[in-house]
Amino acid sequence: MASHFRSAERQGAEEETKLTAVSDEVTPQDEVVVPEAAAEPAIAEPMPEVAAEPAPEVAAPEPEAVHVVTASEPAETDQQPATESVYSSLAGDDAPAVQRTGTPTVSFKNVTLIYPAQPNKPALDDVSLDIYPGEFVFVVGHSGSGKSSLLRLITRELRATSGQVIVAGQDLTKMRNKKVPYLRRQIGTVYQDFKLLPDKTVYENVAFALECIGKPKSIIKAQVPEVLRLVGLADRMKHFPDQLSGGEQQRVSVARAMVNRPPLLVCDEPTGNLDPAISLGIMKLLDMINRAGTTVVMATHDREMVDSMRKRVIALEAGHVVRDQERGGYGYYGAL
């Protein structure tokens, strides 16, 4: 193959040399002076009438009406905007209606969280909100606005400085540490960095979540394959995490969070490390889980996803809830 490309180079060089030699033989006088025998036919024989005839319809077509697209009338294009083409299928009107009555799954009542390193800058400041069973809630805001702090209060990784955090009917601000593991059995958690055990297979990673809470082997053997089929990884059960793509690893993380069928799923930037096509698969999975009745609370910076899915949006700014909107968009948060 290499000799083929070299011979082509030599051939091109020889052709270029021949063209250079020919051009060197032509003098400026030769270019200007045209023999009379060659010039006479151009004068004696006029151009054919067909060529001289104007082309009325082709050369001067009738002007077409120009259609101006206004803001109230979207342009007709074959290709839809990225927000519609990627996530619009998850924003349908067929989502189950949520009745905001009864006991909320998550309730914040005048919650303030202060880190010891920043006593004059609360991470959350007098936050009050309720999240009801079956809701899908996006928590948005720029870095440092308090999104992760809010999620960590829900999972009792942090204890509020003041106020009440009530999850599944229990006041977490008064909960003893020894009871926290029992609370977390009712909360599935999905992280941005997957947090899979590298020395365990896909099956073993998911089974480990059930082993930790003392489930018998018969239940583990029944539930693990079922949840792996749900997330589309039935044929990957014997693979290790480093043999999977990023999207597949996140699906394992979702399967592990859901294998115990908790009523609440907390997701901290679950698509942050994934490209849009793979993120769509994860969001379809979370949307399916939500439609089955699980409450989903998800912190995200993905503006396109939030704008197109039109779920409830809670926006944080400097530890305050600045917007709580049903079927909301991302807004102007996350730019800083």
pLDDT value at 311 more than 50: yes
Q: What is the pLDDT of residues 152-178, one digit of tens each?
A: 999 999 999 999 999 999 999 999 999
pLDDT value at 107 more than 90: yes
More confident residue, 207 or 22: 207
State the pLDDT at residue 50: 45
In Å, what is the CA distance from 202 to each residue of 240, 252, 262, 308? 6, 7, 20, 32
Extents of the domains making up the chain: 84-325
Confidence at 332, pLDDT banded by 50, 70, 90 = confident
Q: What is the pLDDT of residues 271-293, one digit of tens each?
A: 888 888 888 889 999 999 999 99
pLDDT value at 25 more than 90: no
Fold of 84-325: Rossmann fold (3.40.50)
Tokens coding 111: 């919650």
pLDDT value at 295 more than 50: yes
**Of 29-33, 139-143, 158-162, 164-168, which gets the smallest average pLDDT?**
29-33
State the pLDDT at residue 129: 96
For residue 246, count other CB atoms closer than 10 A to its CB: 14
> How many CA atoms lie less than 13 Å away from 156 in the CB half-sphere?
23
Please tell me which of 126-130, 272-276, 326-330 the model is most confident about, judged by mean pLDDT.
126-130
State the pLDDT at residue 335: 43
Under 8 Å CB-to-CB from 96, ≥6 apart: which residues? 134, 291
Rounded distance, CA 249 to CA 256, Å? 11
Confidence at 92, pLDDT banded by 50, 70, 90 = low
Residue 180 in 3-state DSSP? helix
pLDDT value at 215 more than 80: yes
Please tell me which of 17-21, 81-85, 303-307 the model is most confident about, judged by mean pLDDT.
303-307
Please tell me which of 39-43, 76-80, 312-316 the model is most confident about, judged by mean pLDDT.
312-316
pLDDT value at 81 more than 50: no
> Taking phi first (over 0 means left), then psi (-120 to 50 degrees means alpha), and beta for anything else, what does residue 286 get?
alpha
State the pLDDT at residue 62: 54
State the pLDDT at residue 95: 65
Residue 67 belongs to what H/E stretch? none
Confidence at 193, pLDDT banded by 50, 70, 90 = confident
Confidence at 88, pLDDT banded by 50, 70, 90 = low
Smallest CA-to-CA distance from 233 within 306, 224, 22, 97 is with 224
Residue 218 belongs to what H/E stretch? helix 217-230
Confidence at 102, pLDDT banded by 50, 70, 90 = confident
Mean pLDDT, range 180-198, rounded to an integer: 92
Strand order in the sheet with 295-299: 187-190, 264-268, 295-299, 136-140, 312-317, 320-325
> How many CA atoms lie less than 13 Å away from 168 in the CB half-sphere?
18
Mean pLDDT, range 11-32, rounded to an integer: 46
